[in-house]
């Protein structure tokens, strides 16, 4: 299986494209390789050159806290009962909507702030496929209000317009 460039269990990822040396994409690729491929997660959290420290801190505090919060929601037997026959709580769907709305914000941040790095790694197809599946699910069950999706409306239309006639 080659998910996100995983060719074997000893590598985190392998960028698929060679980009010209001296370009911003080359620098981003080298930064990513130096941090993620090294297996040293400590380096992966270092402020990238040219990034605003306040934005970097705010984003990483938000994403870490969000993922921990989502995991806590999923582990809460009162909200997500795992035993057959135990009813879901009355607030289940509203809780699920909050989870999806917050996860959408992570996608929005990735697309709006880090897409050049995703391209440099050659992983835009994986990101687009994941996001497209997320959007179809959200739209199918009306989990996020349209106004919340506004920051990525153009991308959503682009990714889903080919499938509208199916």
Please identify which residue in the block is written with the tokens 């981003």. Answer: 28
What is the CATH class of 50-163? Answer: mainly alpha
89 three-class SS: coil
- Please give the DSSP secondary-structure letter assigned to residue 110: H
pLDDT at 113: 82
pLDDT at 124: 92
Contacts of 77 (CB under 8 A, 6+ apart): 83, 86
- Please give the DSSP secondary-structure letter assigned to residue 88: P
The CA angle 152-154-155, to the nearest 5 degrees, is: 65
- Rounded to whole angstroms, what are the CA distances from 150 to 95, 128, 135, 143? 21, 17, 12, 14
Q: Would you list the domain boundaries of the chain?
A: 50-163
Alpha-carbon distance 104 to 131, whole Å? 9
The pTM of this model reads 0.65
pLDDT along the chain (166 residues), means of 10: 33 43 61 52 71 72 84 94 94 97 92 85 91 96 97 95 72
Phi, psi of 138, deg, nearest 5: -60, -45
On whether 109 is known to bind a ligand per the annotation, the reply is yes
14 three-class SS: coil
Phi, psi of 159, deg, nearest 5: -70, -30
Alpha-carbon distance 47 to 39, whole Å? 17
- Please report how many Cα atoms fall inside a 13 Å half-sphere around the Cα of residue 129, on the Cβ side: 6
On whether 126 is known to bind a ligand per the annotation, the reply is no
Alpha-carbon distance 116 to 113, whole Å? 8
End-to-end CA distance of the chain: 29
């Amino acid at each position: 299986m080659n998910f996100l460039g995983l060719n074997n269990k000893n590598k985190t990822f392998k960028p698929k494209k060679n980009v010209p040396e001296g370009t911003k994409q080359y620098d981003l690729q080298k930064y990513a390789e130096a941090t993620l491929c090294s297996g040293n997660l400590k380096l992966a959290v270092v402020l990238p050159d040219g990034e605003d420290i306040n934005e970097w801190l705010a984003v990483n505090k938000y994403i870490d806290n969000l993922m921990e919060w989502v995991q806590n929601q999923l582990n809460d037997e009162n909200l997500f009962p795992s035993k057959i026959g135990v009813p879901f709580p009355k607030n289940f769907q509203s809780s699920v909507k909050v989870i999806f709305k917050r996860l959408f914000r992570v996608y929005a941040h990735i697309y709006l702030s880090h897409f050049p790095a995703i391209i440099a790694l050659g992983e835009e197809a994986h990101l687009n496929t994941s996001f497209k599946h997320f959007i179809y699910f959200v739209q199918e069950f009306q989990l996020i209000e349209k106004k919340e999706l506004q920051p990525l409306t153009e991308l959503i239309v682009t990714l889903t317009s080919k499938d509208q006639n199916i």
